[in-house]
Structure 1
Amino acid sequence: MRFAALTVSLSLAAPAAAGDFRLQFPLDCTLGESCHIQQFVDRDPGPGARDFTCGTLSYDGHKGTDIALPYLSDMQAGVQVRAAADGVVLGTRNTMADQYATAENAASIEGMECGNGVVLRHGGGWETQYCHMKRGSILVENGQKVKAGDVLGEVGLSGKTQFPHLHLSVRKDGAVVDPFSPEAADTCGVQPEETLWASLPPYQAGGVLGAGFSTAIPEYGSVKTGTADEAPLPPDAPAFVFWAYAYGGQAGDLMELNVTGPGGEFVSHSEALQKNQAQFFRAAGRRLRGGQWPAGSYTGVARLLRDGQEIARFARSMTIAAQ
């Protein structure tokens, strides 16, 4: 089934009362640990973008909730997508390749930006749509009845996307509804009296997805795939590099990278972001100037700070063996 007609021309719904319609979290992952919400529905009626808190976790015209995995290797290991509510399968697609969207493959994706996915019809005019799923993973068929929590397939990288994630769209009578604030359309920043979630997922304004050690500043591609970490480093590594991968960065945020080793402070680096960045990584370290790195335990801590306040941190330890 082609999903383009269901996604391209939709606008935000007028205020929608939730009634008895409630959503279960649709992924087998733990928010803040093995997944995160990268983007929310765009609440800005103009050319800008803002999420339901008036924050920056959205982009112009975005019509869903993007629940992302940290690394491509997490997607390859398999993360199940589950039905958010009882319903009937309205349509599926299961044959598109899992690949990053590029200028070279744009023509083959056009009209199928959702990638592989499932559309479920629920009662009362409600629908949910699950996009960017893994090729060959979808387990349901048109007309099949499903219960909330039933496995639909797995998270993938199909369609128009730059990172492995599930795009969940919610619609009422054909119009997009923000499940975090269903009773307001073109507004933000007001605490909603009710949401569509049976258990409200926490809002995180940005975070550190992971960190690691390597013998050189890694390529961004290897960071995204989950293959950049080389710990434990050998005693004669040509360089000692600590890196961190993060999301939701805003201009002016500080990324701090600090490593303590056997002799105390080993690496200390702080860098301000010059612009908003949906995902980014930073690295700092030292070159080996003869000899070997001191044997012992090393702990790297990455901190993301906004307006002087820590909003996220990630710690990673390793041991360099004596030779």
Structure 2
Amino acid sequence: MPVDCDLGDTCYIQNYMDRDAGPGSRDFTCSGLSYDTHKGTDFALPSLAAMDRGVDVLAAAKGVVRGVRDGMIDKAYTRAEDARIDGRDCGNGLVLQHDDGWETQYCHMKQGSVRVRSGQVIEAGTVLGQIGLSGRTQFPHLHISVRHNGQPVDPFTPDARADTCRSGEARTMWIDDIAYEPGGIVSAGFADQVPSYDTIKAGTAGIDALSSDAQAIVLWGFAYGGQQADVMELEITGPQGRVFQTRQQVKKDQAQFFRAGGKRLKSPLPAGTYTGIVTLERKGRIVSQKTVEIPLR
């Protein structure tokens, strides 16, 4: 693992390498967790707050540092940022040269976090820096590329034929057990009003408790890898049973999205613990689910 986090809990894989030779995109399972010409794997964080707390980037293998960049600011990319980025799409990062023509590249690291220098010999697992938001990116993540003799290699299916998915032997370059997830719930929480998307991505949308005079109780879920016709179900239960339930359909494929729902309170709810269950369904099957609780005093 090139990041010090728990997949499915404190981080997730947003994009895999694109295996489609044409203008479309598909990952190594022939699903849609990629985008056109993407040449690496994106290990993403659930929020800007998680990035601010700090998540280490680790050397995936022993190697020698060949080229380092640091000093670019952490800021979500927009077209207005092209002049500032000026071709430095990778942002802060570095390249590690390994034996036999192999190399790995680490991108979008946090400003000021890179700990290594060119020419330095690095052991596997060495902390290289931290995940950031530098370069051409709109969410905090580490993009890691694997190359052999200059050609990109998918570490999940390294011996697969070019421009194919679901080919090659059932093996992987990863030592760690990295299971494929087709999408999922990144985070969930309660609020007393429908939160903005910006606060959800920032990690500041949730509240720790509801007061007895709250005007509403709202449950929200933030997800990735959404496909057309997916359904996100939001359900709130309390001391006297179900308070609210909704099922909201995803209208089109979306790399990231959120849904929210709740109930305006004309009279106070009973004090106690309220439970929210956020479920992502695809073709009638549960893809991912998160449960959150909040006290009402």
**If the TM-score is normalised by the length of the shorter chain, which range does it land in?**
over 0.9
Tell me the amino acid that sits aligned with residue 185 of structure 2: V
Aligned-pair CA distance for 1:262? 1.3
- 1:207-253 CA distance string (max 9 Å, x none): 10111111111010000010000231111111111000011110010
Does the 8 Å contact 2:14/2:33 carry over to 1?
yes
Q: Does 1:282 align with 2:282?
A: no
Aligned-pair CA distance for 1:118? 1.0
Secondary structure in 2 matching 1:70: coil
- 1:134-160 CA distance string (max 9 Å, x none): 000000000000000001000000001
- 1:250-287 CA distance string (max 9 Å, x none): 00101000010111011100011010011110000011
Query: Which residue in 1 is equivalent to 2:244?
Result: 267
Relative to the length of structure 2, the TM-score reads 0.98
Q: Does 1:298 align with 2:274?
A: yes
Query: Which residue in 1 is equivalent to 2:188?
Result: 211
Query: Which residue in 2 is equivalent to 1:186?
Result: 163
Does the 8 Å contact 1:34/1:70 carry over to 2?
yes
- 1:86-109 CA distance string (max 9 Å, x none): 000001111000010012222211
Does the 8 Å contact 2:110/2:130 carry over to 1?
yes
Aligned-pair CA distance for 1:110? 2.8
Q: Distance in 2 between matches of 1:41 and 1:31?
A: 18
Secondary structure in 1 matching 2:84: helix
Q: Does 1:130 align with 2:117?
A: no
Q: Does 1:309 align with 2:268?
A: no
Secondary structure in 2 matching 1:138: coil
RMSD, matched Cα: 0.9
Query: Which residue in 1 is equivalent to 2:219?
Result: 242
Query: Which residue in 1 is equivalent to 2:16?
Result: 40
Query: Which residue in 2 is equivalent to 1:22?
Result: none
Tell me the amino acid that sits aligned with residue 232 of structure 1: A
Q: How does 1:154-193 map to 2 (within 5 A)?
A: 154-184=130-160, 185-190=162-167, 192-193=169-170
Aligned-pair CA distance for 1:199? 2.6
Tell me the amino acid that sits aligned with residue 195 of structure 1: T
Does the 8 Å contact 2:49/2:203 carry over to 1?
yes
Q: 1:178 to 1:239 in 2, by over 3 A?
A: same
Tell me the amino acid that sits aligned with residue 276 of structure 1: D
Unaligned runs of 5+ in 1: 1-24
The match for 2:178 among 201, 206, 213 is 201
Secondary structure in 2 matching 1:105: helix
Q: Distance in 1 between matches of 2:238 and 2:283?
A: 29
Does the 8 Å contact 2:45/2:141 carry over to 1?
yes
Q: Distance in 2 between matches of 1:131 and 1:147?
A: 19
Query: Which residue in 2 is equivalent to 1:63?
Result: 39
Aligned-pair CA distance for 1:201? 0.8
Query: Which residue in 2 is equivalent to 1:149?
Result: 125
Aligned-pair CA distance for 1:293? 2.3
Unaligned runs of 5+ in 2: none
Q: Distance in 1 between matches of 2:42 and 2:293?
A: 30
The match for 2:209 among 232, 235, 251 is 232
Q: Distance in 1 between matches of 2:290 and 2:136?
A: 29
Tell me the amino acid that sits aligned with residue 284 of structure 1: G
Identity %: 52
Tell me the amino acid that sits aligned with residue 98 of structure 1: D
Secondary structure in 1 matching 2:236: strand
The ranges of structure 1 where at least 4 consecutive aligned residues each deviate by more than 2 angstroms after the TM superposition are 189-194
Does the 8 Å contact 2:159/2:168 carry over to 1?
no
Does the 8 Å contact 1:53/1:190 carry over to 2?
no
- Greater shift after overlay, 196-205 or 115-124? 196-205
Aligned-pair CA distance for 1:191? 6.2
Q: Distance in 2 between matches of 1:49 and 1:110?
A: 26
